[in-house]
């Protein structure tokens, strides 16, 4: 179970946020210190599997052979065959609409080059280039993990935000997700928690509550 201080802070953030007519996301705000982010190698670029999931629907698309598409028919939200990739690239407006609706993509490894050549200009800038799947493999596990994955990117900013759940989730589950993110950050930062100036948790439109990190 997560640290009681984190659970308490999450509970406070949820309790302080006014009720909305939609399910708000819950965000973790991280403020770094003593990190030279002008140097790209010091920037945070991570994908982290949240142990308690995102609390919302995460859509995954797949580029694959007919055999892999068949295996993924009950787990992928949208599938594309090799023949469909160039056709999709020709319809740029439609392609952008489809890409914007999908959170993550996977592709059977032999199709990675075709995807990159035809759709790289659309997928790349959105951070949605597909993860390769070995030929003939069952993509179910990879897709399942992506549904619980968040992207953490500081770019050149000392302050950045990470989605760690939704308001409909128990505070304990959100706290577990926060610990997973913080632990990964500590492992990537040169001085661990000493490089984190402060951290806050909040709903997307609610007040922030400061976290005590150890």
Kindly report whether the global pTM for this prediction surpasses the value 0.85. Answer: yes
pLDDT number for residue 126:
92
What's the pLDDT score for residue 214? Answer: 83
Buried b (16+ CB within 10 A) or exposed e, 166-203: bbebebebbbbbbbbbbebbbebbeeeeebbeebbbbb
Report yes or no: 183 and 164 within 8 Å, Cβ to Cβ. Answer: no
Residue 165: its pLDDT value, please? Answer: 97
CATH numbers and ranges of domains, the chain: 4-55+149-210 (3.30.190.20), 60-146 (3.40.50.790)
The series of mean pLDDT values per 10 residues for the chain, 214 residues long, is 91 92 94 95 94 96 96 95 94 93 96 96 94 94 96 94 96 97 96 96 95 90
Q: What are phi and psi of 76, to 5 degrees?
A: -85, 145
Residue 125 has a pLDDT of 93
The backbone torsions φ and ψ at residue 6, rounded to the nearest 5 degrees and listed phi first, read -70, -40
pLDDT at 56: 94
DSSP strand pairing (209-210 vs 196-203)? antiparallel
Q: Give the pLDDT score at 72.
A: 94
pLDDT given for residue 128 in this prediction? 94
- Which pLDDT belongs to residue 15? 94
pLDDT reported for residue 3: 87
Query: Is 90 in a helix, a strand, or coil?
Result: helix
- Would you state the pLDDT for residue 164? 98
Per-residue pLDDT, 21: 87
């Amino acid at each position: 179970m997560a640290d009681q201080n984190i659970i308490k802070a999450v509970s406070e953030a949820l309790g302080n946020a006014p009720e909305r007519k939609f399910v708000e996301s819950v965000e973790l705000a991280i403020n770094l210190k003593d990190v030279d982010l002008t140097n790209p190698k010091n920037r945070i670029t991570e994908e982290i599997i949240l142990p308690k999931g995102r609390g919302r629907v995460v859509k995954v698309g797949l580029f694959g052979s007919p055999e892999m598409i068949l295996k993924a028919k009950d787990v992928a939200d949208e599938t594309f065959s090799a023949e469909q990739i160039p056709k999709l690239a020709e319809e740029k407006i439609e392609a952008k609409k489809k890409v914007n609706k999908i959170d993550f993509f996977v592709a059977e490894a032999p199709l990675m080059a075709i995807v990159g050549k035809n759709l790289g200009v659309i997928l790349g800038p959105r951070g949605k280039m597909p993860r390769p799947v070995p030929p003939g493999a069952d993509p179910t596990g990879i897709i399942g993990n992506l549904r619980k994955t968040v992207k953490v990117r500081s770019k050149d900013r000392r302050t950045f935000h990470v989605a760690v759940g939704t308001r409909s989730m128990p505070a304990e589950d959100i706290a577990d997700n926060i610990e997973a993110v913080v632990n990964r950050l500590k492992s990537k930062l040169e001085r661990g928690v000493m490089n984190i100036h402060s951290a806050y948790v909040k709903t997307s439109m609610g007040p922030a509550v400061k976290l005590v990190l150890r």
